[in-house]
Structure 1
Amino acid sequence: MNFSKLGKMLMWLIRPLGLLNRNIGHSGNKLFATRKPLLWLVVLTSLLLSGCVKYDVGVNFNHSNSGELVQHIKLGERLTSFSGDYIYAWLDSIETRTRKLEGKVRRISQEEVIVTIPFSNGQELQTKFNEFFNSHNNQKVAATTSETDSELPKIESNLLLFQNNFLLVVRNRLIYDLDLRSLSLIASKGNVLADTGAILDLEFSLNTPWGAKNIQLTENAVEPEKQGNQLLWRLQPGELNHIEVVFWLPSPLGIGALLIVLFIWGGLYLRYTFMPDPRIQFAPQPTATESQ
């Protein structure tokens, strides 16, 4: 999965700090013992890696039959300086998956990329979104994973979109669940290494023509920020993030059908109201006969 690779990347990056943690824990230095070296290690790591990954996912609707999935990924210089080769390979894999879904990739720099994947209806959005973030193309590789891969945090992502057509408008109910509980603390062999809340900055946004209404039915529902017709959720690493929202979209097919009906009705009304009856206008004229 795409987010799981982020977890693997961060685990690989801060793994050397685990050795420091064990060395401090077994040392007889009273100064470190009294000051809780593990806590100091977490704080130090968070300061060094703060703001390493900024990942924004946006769903933009124009109407019920047009929209795009936009992702903006920006990596911090600290992260690329530590693990540049792995980072660039990960970004290349994102480009490959995007093109398979008929999307476009704009590379701002080596550390920043913008991905745009179009969709023509709600079902296509659901399919492309889940396929992108739940890629199962590496099953053969997964069968031969190393010990490092076996420690990879398991992240579940699932988006559902239910649509009801009311001729001129379409009612949409979007449900998105992202389970980031495995990223609460990145650990290696029982040693806590870093708080991912200080490393990952994850956002999910929904932009619609008429705005949307957030539905908060569960305790783990994330409260959004409203910016015009856009709702923005700041996802929390280490928690189960639940998003549920209802919004309405105009239906071009329904509106087009209504316009055709009105056009035909208007033509008939004008024809039989302001113009003579064609039965009289084009009636055959009787022929005049000469009287004998």
Structure 2
Amino acid sequence: MNFSKLGKMLMWLIRPLGLLNRNIGHSGNKLFAPRKPLLWLVVLTSLLLSGCVKYDVGVNFNHSNSGELVQHIKLGERLTSFSGDYIYAWLDSIESRTRKLEGKVRRVSQEEVIVTIPFSNGQELQTKFNEFFNSHNNQKVAATTSETDSELPKIESNLLLFQNNFLLVVRNRLIYDLDLRSLSLIASKGNVLADTGAILDLEFSLNTPWGAKNIQLTENAVEPEKQGNQLLWRLQPGELNHIEVVFWLPSPLGIGALLIVLFVWGGLYLRYTFMPDPRIQFAPQPTATESQ
């Protein structure tokens, strides 16, 4: 999820409402005097944009050396009809960044996209995750003439994964911080128009073979929902979301090395226990001497 693009998208969505508000403020009709001109706009915006963006991010581990990052993006029909061109360009940018990270994109429909990015170890997951969601930091921001565009919300996303190898298993500690405080309210020229909690539906999930243990060390830690071996967090717009978990994964390299050792040991055991000693079996026989 390119959160900078998402913030820009939301701000772009409400720009017509901001223009409408300024026109109302300059009208001579006392019924629409600028004392409380935004009350009906809040209701209108909530009706138009309710449930507009559903963004699910999932990290799936098979074992310590295999997994995939899955993203499911679904946009409401009202949103696409209101701002189709910009949103389709945003989805196209997601596809482009996915392919750069050797991922695959499945376009279910014009409004729904499923992204899959594989990773082979924890370090690769951390690198690809942060590169995908923070790719806007490395891009040059084009100059715009719109005052609304110059005040886009800044969102920080950072994932860390620490791994400790114990031969047969690997201990993992995942920390994810997502700062959504700048999306607490959608506003234009300082006027609150809508609560983003009614517009954005953001989820983060973690799937592991043996499950995971959630750690709540801070006040802003998000409490997950447990569904089998999956933990699901519902991220809150307008808040600093902190996720920290510990989970164990099987190590194919360690298990493979152990199997090789057991195989060699078993072969030696069978050879010297149930078969003659090769030192006796293959010892040179003394040659018989002819009798005089």
TM-score band (shorter)? Answer: over 0.9
Q: Deviations over 1:222-277 (max 9, x none)?
A: 00000000000000011100000000000000000000000000000000000000
- CA apart distance, 1:32: 6.5
TM-score, normalised on structure 2? 0.94
What's the RMSD between the two structures over aligned residues?
2.1
The aligned counterpart of 1:188 is 188
- Runs of 4 or more, structure 1, over 2 Å off, are 19-41, 136-149
Q: Distance in 2 between matches of 1:29 and 1:162?
A: 62
Q: Deviations over 1:157-189 (max 9, x none)?
A: 000000000000000000000000000111121
Distance 2:138 2:75 in 1: 24
Question: In the alignment, is the contact (CA less than 8 A) between 2:202 and 2:234 conserved in 1?
Answer: yes
Match of 2:131 in 1: 131
Q: Cα distance, 1:31 vs. partner? A: 6.4
Judging changes above 3 Å, is the alpha-carbon distance between structure 1 residues 32 and 228 closer, same or farther for their aligned structure 2 residues? farther
* Identity value in percent: 99
Aligned equivalents of 1:28, 1:171: Cα separation in 2: 68
- 1:145–1:56: structure 2 CA closer, same or farther, 3 Å change rule? farther
Separation of aligned partners in 2, 1:211 and 1:54: 25
Please report the TM-score for the alignment, with normalisation by the length of structure 1.
0.94
Q: Residues of 2 paired with 1:198 and 1:5: CA distance?
A: 18
Determine if contact 1:126/1:160 at 8 Å carries over to the other structure.
yes
Conserved? CA contact 2:148–2:188, under 8 Å: no
Q: Counterpart in 1 of 2:152?
A: 152
- Which digits, 9 at most, give the CA deviation of each residue in 1:81-135, with x for residues without a partner? 0111111111110000000000000000011000000000000000000000001
Conservation of the 8 A alpha-carbon contact between 2:168 and 2:250: yes
8 Å Cα contact 1:15-1:193 kept in structure 2: no
Count residues in correspondence.
292
1:211 is paired with a residue whose SS is coil
Q: Which runs of 5+ in 2 are unaligned?
A: none
In structure 2, what is the Cα distance between the partners aligned to 1:27 and 1:231?
53
Gaps of 5+ in 1: none
Name the CA shift for 1:138/1:265 in 2 (closer, same or farther; >3 Å): closer
Relative to 1, partners in 2 of residues 1:124 and 1:60: Cα closer, same or farther, differing over 3 Å?
same
Instruction: Check the 8 A contact 1:21/1:191 in 2, yes or no.
Output: no
Tell me the secondary structure at the aligned position of residue 107 of structure 1.
strand
- After TM superposition, the structure 1 stretch with the greater mean CA deviation from structure 2, 132-141 or 149-158, is 132-141
Deviation at 1:203, TM superposition (A): 0.3
> How far 1:29 sits from its partner (Å)?
6.7
CA displacement at 1:22 relative to structure 2:
4.0
User: Which is further off, 134-143 or 91-100?
Assistant: 134-143
Residue 246 of structure 2 aligns with which residue? 246
